Amino acid sequence: MARRASSFVCQNCGAVSQRWQGRCESCGEWNTIVEEGPSAGIAAQAARGARGGRVFGLEALAGGSPPAPRIASGLDEFDRVMGGGLVPGSVTLIGGEPGIGKSTLLIQACAALARRGSRSVYVSGEEAVAQVRLRADRLGLAEAAVELAAETSVDDIVATLRQGRRPDLVIIDSIQTMWTDAAETAPGTVTQVRASAQALIRYAKTSGASVILVGHVTKDGQIAGPRVVEHMVDAVVSFEGDSNHHFRILRAVKNRFGPTDEIGVFEMTGAGLAEVPNPSALFLAGRDASAAGTAVFAGMEGMRPVLVEFQALVAPTSLGMPRRAVVGWDTNRLAMVIAVLEAHAGLRLGQHDVYLNVAGGLRVSEPAADLAVAAALVSSLTGAHLPADAVYFGEIGLSGAIRPVVHAPARLREAAKLGFAKAVAPMMARSGAAPPLPVEGVGDIASLVAGIAAAAPPSRRSTGRATFPSPH
């Protein structure tokens, strides 16, 4: 009988090849391909022969089923991202950079559940029990009835969890340190991560416990390991933040039981992560309303309106190719806005460096920020100060038209709550109810530029840096 050849698996993306090579053809990473024996993986199990299956019943499509019950963790921002709480039997994968606060957040969630009488288990594969206790003491959680363990064998973990009362929440920190006898490879490899995740998912589905897996991230910010693990779990959550800022963003990337565009905002303090119920006030704190090149954007993160400040700096370049530096927004989207300003508003930005930043470190992805970005760019170019009590939102089309966006009433209500007096937005259809604050409608990008340029200092208007269209 011929010997089955080994396979070579990329430890970054999970691609399988028949020979070793220095560079993975799928993801382009170097030195990530590892040889795995023929006894590992699903293909080997299929080669051994499949057992006879059991017959199960089929149900009709019609018929009611009760909604999935949820367990409130006690952290409102965490429950918001999860869709209202933890679903029994669900498996969540949470990723984030080292030191961002994943372990701190999860030990706080375990303690909050334990104080409500639920059974919470925290299994660490990277730290000893004494280290976890030190963190709990520092956070003031030592009195919470959280069960701790330092273990990496998934088989032993599942056998232990099946003893006694079913736990309501199980934390596995992290999935890359786990291993199982079902796979004959080293811990941390693609096969071990996949097999360990499958064993924990099977336990969650059969027992009804909610399991949260902690995953490492790559240098690109993606959760390390095979992408198939993200498809196996019920929810994928990323924990984002910047070491230079105190706040952290919990963002749902995938959620079978709730929305995928919700965020939870936390602030890192000496006593752990504190919830931020009003993130708009945090992002706008300390802003210089009298500076040129700043515009407040009324955005939406899921169903929550969030106000953030866009900061732009347009300066003459000394390089042959002008620089375009962006932090917190899409670089391609900025290039499109600049092109529309040049083509339909007469601005000359080809000889200027453009720097754009979302104050506070928040990452904005919705197209409704186009109008705020354009206003900040024009303000920086002309030196005109935008009204300190105005917010901006609207999508810019390639024709120069300002297109309406969704959830405009919620954006206006949030701006009115924080004391803003007006909004610069696309023309909106009149409705019976009056808007929460006055709206200055703009139909195209030329009207926006002309209005801002009218308030520019005369010295800046005569420098020849731009050609401004007439307001009429």
> Which CATH number characterizes residue 335's domain?
3.30.230.10
Query: Pick from 230, 245, 277: which residue ends a domain?
Result: 277
Confidence of residue 469 (pLDDT cuts 50, 70, 90): very low
Q: Which two tokens stand for residue 417?
A: 């709550």
Distance, in Å, from the CA atom of 391 to the CA atom of 77, rounded to the nearest integer, reads 25
2: amino acid identity, one letter: A
Distance, in Å, from the CA atom of 85 to the CA atom of 76, rounded to the nearest integer, reads 9
Residue with tokens 């506070």: 360
pLDDT of residue 179: 93
Query: Pick from 233, 261, 277: which residue ends a domain?
Result: 277
User: In a 3-state reduction of DSSP, which class is residue 455?
Assistant: coil
Predicted TM-score (pTM) of the model is: 0.78
Same domain, 313 and 265: no
Chain center to CA of 101: 14
Query: Residue 89: inside a domain, yes or no?
Result: yes
Same domain, 315 and 437: yes
Query: Residue 44: inside a domain, yes or no?
Result: no
Query: Residue 425: inside a domain, yes or no?
Result: yes
CATH of the domain at 188: 3.40.50.300
**Region 164-190: what's the mean pLDDT?**
89
Query: Residue 110: inside a domain, yes or no?
Result: yes
Same domain, 101 and 12: no
pLDDT of residue 417: 92
Query: Residue 85: inside a domain, yes or no?
Result: yes
User: In a 3-state reduction of DSSP, which class is residue 28?
Assistant: coil
Distances (CA, A) of 453 to 209, 228, 312, 465: 60, 52, 16, 12
Query: Residue 51: inside a domain, yes or no?
Result: no
How confident is the model over 429-453, as pLDDT tens digits?
666 567 888 999 999 999 999 999 8
How confident is the model over 211-270, as pLDDT tens digits?
999 987 766 656 656 567 888 999 999 998 876 778 899 999 899 988 887 889 999 888
Same domain, 161 and 235: yes
Phi-psi region of 104 (alpha: psi -120 to 50; beta: other; left: phi over 0): alpha
Query: Pick from 277, 303, 318: which residue ends a domain?
Result: 277
Same domain, 455 and 316: yes
Same domain, 337 and 427: yes
Using an 8 Å Cβ cutoff, are 224 and 218 in contact?
yes
Based on the structure, what is the number of domains in the chain?
A: 3
Same domain, 323 and 364: yes
Query: Residue 394: inside a domain, yes or no?
Result: yes
User: In a 3-state reduction of DSSP, which class is residue 272?
Assistant: strand
pLDDT of residue 43: 47
Same domain, 94 and 150: yes
pLDDT at 402 over 70: yes
423: amino acid identity, one letter: A
Chain center to CA of 142: 30
Same domain, 220 and 288: no
Query: Residue 469: inside a domain, yes or no?
Result: no
Same domain, 11 and 30: yes
pLDDT of residue 362: 85
Using an 8 Å Cβ cutoff, are 195 and 9 in contact?
no
Give the burial string for 138-174 (b: 16+ CB within 10 Å, else e): ebebeebebbbeeebbbeebbeebeeeeebbbbbbbb
The domain in which residue 27 lies consists of 7-38
Same domain, 304 and 448: yes
pLDDT of residue 182: 86
Same domain, 30 and 147: no
